[in-house]
Amino acid sequence: MDDPDPPDPPGGARPPRAEALAAMLAAIDDDFARTAADTGLAAMPAPVRAAIAAVPRHRFVPAQAQARAYENRPLPIGHGQTISQPFIVALMTALLELQPQDRVLEIGSGCGYQAAVLAQEAAQVDSVEIVPELAERAAATLAGLGLARVRVHKGDGHAGWPAGAPYDKIIATAAAPTLPPAWVAQLAAGGRLVAPIGEREGLQTLVLLRKNPRGELQQQRTIAVRFVPLTGGAG
């Protein structure tokens, strides 16, 4: 009765979950088209589409939200936190331009969905989560899907994850008023960092920071976003 992952019903019809996923991908396509001028991305890149299609979002969503698991919206996951909107997950993944050998740091595991998407395209993902219960649940969900490339760590992501630095790519899924220096320090030369920067309550700007091979930084603003605030540490 409480099976979080009931099988699709047998029969000739296309399974409802495949239809819901197709509709979600179409909605993400629309959002990419709508925001192209601000993101510099004309469409969802094929590897990102494949990664989104490969991750069963319903496995990351609590029982009471199962019916909405494939809507292109954020959903509550408990502890006052949310699973990010699929378009935002796809956009942030696209902005990182992941390579198969990449080692990635995520700040804010939440349910682990973004980490699972990252793991489709990268060699290793270290994800730091400040709420212990969420970290444990995310680790269990990811392990249940066989995603051993993701390691979930309990801790305050303001400090990044020094033990694993430097990282080729860094992504933050909670909003900081300014970019924490530890993240920039832990970004490898040639690396990319994507984070929502700005007001803790309200809108932030999704920022792409590039560190060139000489260590010089270049920052690009993309779209307005609304993330939960980074807690702990300096805040």
Which of 167, 70, 65 has the alpha carbon at shortest distance from 118?
167
List Cα–Cα distances, 17 to 8, 41, 77, 166, in angstroms: 7, 28, 20, 39
Could you confirm whether 84 is annotated as catalytic?
yes
- Judged by CB under 6 A, the residue of 107, 145, 147, 152 near ligand SAH is 107
Instruction: Sketch the per residue contact string, 47 through 86, with ligand SAH: x for CB under 6 A, - otherwise.
Output: ----------------------------------xxxx--
Choose between 39 and 84: whose C-beta lies nearer to ligand SAH: 84
Instruction: Sketch the per residue contact string, 165 through 204, with ligand SAH: x for CB under 6 A, - otherwise.
Output: --------xx------------------------------
Q: Is the dihedral of CA 124, 194, 211, 178 positive or negative?
A: negative
Place of tokens 């792409």: 208
Q: How many residues does the chain have?
A: 235
122 near ligand SAH (CB under 6 A):
no
Say if residues 174 and 229 touch (Cβ distance below 8 Å). yes
Interface contacts to ligand SAH, rule CB under 6 A? 81-84, 107-111, 113-114, 128-131, 134, 156-158, 173-174, 228, 230-233
